[in-house]
Amino acid sequence: MRPDLRTILVHAIVWCSFIAYEIGVAKGIGSTIPLGYFACFYLLGFTLFYFNAHVASPAAAKRKYPAVWVSLVLIIELGVYDLLSIGMDILVTTIHAGRLTVDIDQTDFIRGIWRGVYYLGLSTGYFLGMRSMANARKAHEILQLKLKGELREVVLENAHLRAQINPHFLFNTLSFIYNTVESVSDIASECIDALSASMAYAMMPPQHDGKIELYKEIEQIERYIYLNQLRFKNRIRVHMTISPECYMEHLRIPPLLLTLVENIFKHGNLDAPVLIAFDCLENNFHFRTENLKAGSLNTESNHIGLTNVKLLLQHYYNDDCEIQVEQLSNTFILDLKLKL
């Protein structure tokens, strides 16, 4: 991450204070070394500091056995710094004297090592501090996300409770209306009864595997068709065939058949006959619909519904199912086969 202006300014102030302190102490004890000499060695030290903090140590810490790698990197950096420090000493002394001067002894190596340890200690402490702060920020962000997730769960739970309260009120109201109109209109009472049953089915909590009994899905489809028949004054010609095996209680299916039937009433020509067939044979389920397409068929919306059904089938059955859609000039045919 590129440092901002504030960070650069803070570093500059700290280093200027550090340099002023050291030069002040050196001059205070009578040192006559030129300031240019100090500048060269400070430049070398700062390079070691930032290279170790931002390049070497982070790279070593990411490897397996980071403690071993960090220690090895520090030793290599210290050796390179010591050699460069000796070389820098020879170069500065030669320039100052006007001739090649190589006057190196054991003290110079020890001084270079001590100075290198000094910079590497500061740099490693800086690196560990920055990493600790980064980990703390990450932990804080994770905590915030967790709290937001918990808050979202609470909101959803409250919404679920409100959703439960409203349907209970609605069911009680429908029951009151049913009892009121039962003696007045058989059709109205039957419509209310079918609507109440449909809503109860739609609001049933999902089972552990997300599937429902096939016969319950068929019953819901029958109620849906019945309500639409009332809505369109019984002018819809639906020819539905159901094999007796489809009512076996152990047969279960994801709730997707109603969506396919709804597509017929949304996008089909209801003035023409509609064919719906359910067939089961030894747990092999076959569902087929055929209807004329309406002139204002919204193919995009229809494709979205079919896409969702295909995704649901893929989730539950992988490749152990087959769904085919055939669109002729004015006819829509859907054929679904799967093993329950």
The pTM of this model reads 0.50
CB 213 within 8 A of CB 235: no
Q: Strands 238-242 and 274-281, how do they pair?
A: parallel
Q: Domain residues of the chain, as ranges?
A: 5-142, 234-339
List C-alpha distances in Å: 166 to 158, 163, 295: 12, 5, 38
How many whole angstroms separate alpha carbon 40 and alpha carbon 115? Answer: 14
Give CA torsion, residues 280, 285, 290, 293, to 10 deg: 150
Confidence of residue 3 (pLDDT cuts 50, 70, 90): low
CB 148 within 8 A of CB 176: no
Tell me the backbone φ, ψ of residue 320, rounded to 5 degrees.
-90, 40
Mean pLDDT of 149-168: 63
CA 144 to mean position of chain CA atoms: 16
Which tokens hold the place of 284?
A: 């092999």
The pLDDT value given to residue 296: 54
Residue 303: pLDDT over 70: no
Q: Which of 168-177, 184-193, 221-230, 303-312 is modeled with the greatest confidence? A: 221-230
SS3 state at 333 = strand
Residue 251: pLDDT over 80: yes
Confidence of residue 101 (pLDDT cuts 50, 70, 90): low
Mean pLDDT of 185-206: 79
CB 243 within 8 A of CB 280: yes
Determine the residue type at 187.
I
pLDDT digits (tens, 9 = 90+) for 54-98: 888 888 888 877 778 878 888 888 888 888 888 877 777 777 666
Is it true that domain 234-339 has CATH number 3.30.70.3270?
Answer: no
pLDDT digits (tens, 9 = 90+) for 213-223: 999 999 999 99
Mean pLDDT of 97-104: 68
Question: Which residue do the tokens 């859609």 mark?
Answer: 325
Q: What percent of the chain has pLDDT over 90?
A: 17
